[in-house]
């Protein structure tokens, strides 16, 4: 049987890049989707070539329906099937509540919610046709709890991703498992932007295991969730935050 194919959105940097690498090392053919991180995506693609892993690089803005269709068509043309979809791409625009604009709010919803919907819609069709699929949506603990006043649009978008997850799990049953992951504080370059060491220390203090998570922590969970060992885990939201006071 040929190798399974995994499409990871936003795989040119951060958590998406770690997920794509982990799935590649686990034996999947990988579709590296990026929008602006061309260098990071190419660097990952080249590292796969050295390891003899078959990969495909696709530039696609997930908010653009035609680009999403083209991406899915191109993957099907090359590989014939998509077995795993990781909806990782997302943005966060930090601005205090009273300074948050409608344009910013719409932009966040457009990427995080509409983008996730579009990719799931077109990839989901191919999974149903193939009677097999695993989808993991990257939500956030911010979609469950409110932590900061500058994230109202982000929090709403990540809550919406949890709702999309439940909806897709029903729509795509019984062939496709759809789950969401809700990461807490994960120390990616973007997340650490503008944080000084003191603030990072304070954030780590709030975590029961007393450290920030890594992109690799999230990648390890995705690898398990898309494996057939996790076949009975479906329509679920799994926190990965090191444990927080007051949450369970
Ligand atoms: P990041 O480094 O900023 O990665 C975000 C990714 O989203 C980038 O690869 C970016 O692609 C992609 N993206 C944004 N807009 C896109 C668009 N229109 N089309 C296609 N791709 C697009 O952030 P990260 O920390 O790794 O976060 C990854 C995911 O985890 C996000 O959904 C984030 O909300 C979620 N998350 C992160 C944390 C954390 O603490 N880091 C916690 C909870 C949840 P390009 O760079 O190519 O444009």
- What are the pLDDT digits (tens) for 160-170? 999 999 999 99
Q: What is the pLDDT of residue 138?
A: 99
Transcribe the chain into DSSP letters. Answer: -PPPEEEETTTTSHHHHHHHHHHHHTT-EEEEEESS-HHHHHHHHHHHHHTT--EEEEE--TT-HHHHHHHHHHHHHHHS---EEEE---------GGG--HHHHHHHHIIIIIIHHHHHHHHHHHHHHHT-EEEEEE--GGGTS---TT-HHHHHHHHHHHHHHHHHHHHTTTTEEEEEEEE--B--HHHHTT--HHHHHHHHHTBTTSS-B-HHHHHHHHHHHTSGGGTT--S-EEEESS-BTT--
Domain ranges of the chain: 5-237
**Rounded mean pLDDT, 202-210:** 96
User: Residue 2's pLDDT band (boundaries 50, 70, 90)?
Assistant: confident
Q: Is 192 in the pocket of ligand 1 (CB under 6 A)?
A: no
Q: Which is nearest to 30 in space by CA: 40, 38, 16, 67? A: 16
Tell me: the pLDDT tens digits for 211-246? 999 999 999 999 999 999 999 999 999 999 999 987
Residue 142: pLDDT over 70: yes
CA angle 67, 136, 235 (to 5 degrees): 125
Q: Is 63 in the pocket of ligand 1 (CB under 6 A)?
A: yes
Contact 143, 158 (CB under 8 A): yes
Q: Is 242 in the pocket of ligand 1 (CB under 6 A)?
A: no
Q: What is the atom index within ligand 1 of the atom nearest the CA of 62? A: 19
Q: What is the pLDDT of residue 247?
A: 72
Q: What is the pLDDT of residue 245?
A: 81
What's the CATH number of domain 5-237, 3.40.50.720, 1.10.390.10, 3.40.50.300, 3.40.50.150?
3.40.50.720
Q: What is the pLDDT of residue 1?
A: 61
**Rounded mean pLDDT, 176-198:** 97
Separation of CA 229 and ligand 1 centre (Å): 27
Cα gap 131→128, rounded to integer Å: 5
Q: Which is nearest to 135 in space by CA: 106, 166, 105? A: 166
Q: What is the atom index within ligand 1 of the atom nearest the CA of 14? A: 26
**Rounded mean pLDDT, 84-109:** 96
Residue 71: pLDDT over 70: yes
Give the mutation target among 9, 89, 154 for probing the ligand 1 site: most ligand atoms within 8 A of CB: 89
Going by alpha carbons, the residue nearest to atom 29 of ligand 1 is 88
Tell me: the pLDDT tens digits for 24-53? 999 999 999 999 999 999 999 999 998 889
Residue 248: pLDDT over 80: no
């Amino acid at each position: 049987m040929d190798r399974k194919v995994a499409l990871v959105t936003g795989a040119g940097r951060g958590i998406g890049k770690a997920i794509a690498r982990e799935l590649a090392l686990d034996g999947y053919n990988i579709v590296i989707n990026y929008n602006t991180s061309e260098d990071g995506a190419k660097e990952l693609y080249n590292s796969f070539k050295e390891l003899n892993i078959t990969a495909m690089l696709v530039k696609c803005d997930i908010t653009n329906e035609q680009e999403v269709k083209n991406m899915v068509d191109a993957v099907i043309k090359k590989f014939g099937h998509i077995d795993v979809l990781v909806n990782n791409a997302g943005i966060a625009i930090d601005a205090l509540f009273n300074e948050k604009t409608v344009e910013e709010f719409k932009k966040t919803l457009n990427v995080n919610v509409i983008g996730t919907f579009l990719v799931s819609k077109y990839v989901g069709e191919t999974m149903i046709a193939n009677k097999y699929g695993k989808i993991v949506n990257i939500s956030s603990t911010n979609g469950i709890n409110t932590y900061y006043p500058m994230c109202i649009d982000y929090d709403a978008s990540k809550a919406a991703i949890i709702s999309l997850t439940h909806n897709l799990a029903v729509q795509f049953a019984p062939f496709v498992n759809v789950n969401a992951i809700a990461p807490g504080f994960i120390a990616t370059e973007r997340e650490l932007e503008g944080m000084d060491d003191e603030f990072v220390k304070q954030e780590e203090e709030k975590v029961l295991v007393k450290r920030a998570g890594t992109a690799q922590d999230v990648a390890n969970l995705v690898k398990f969730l898309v494996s057939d060992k996790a076949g009975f885990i479906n329509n679920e939201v799994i926190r990965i935050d090191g444990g927080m006071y007051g949450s369970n």
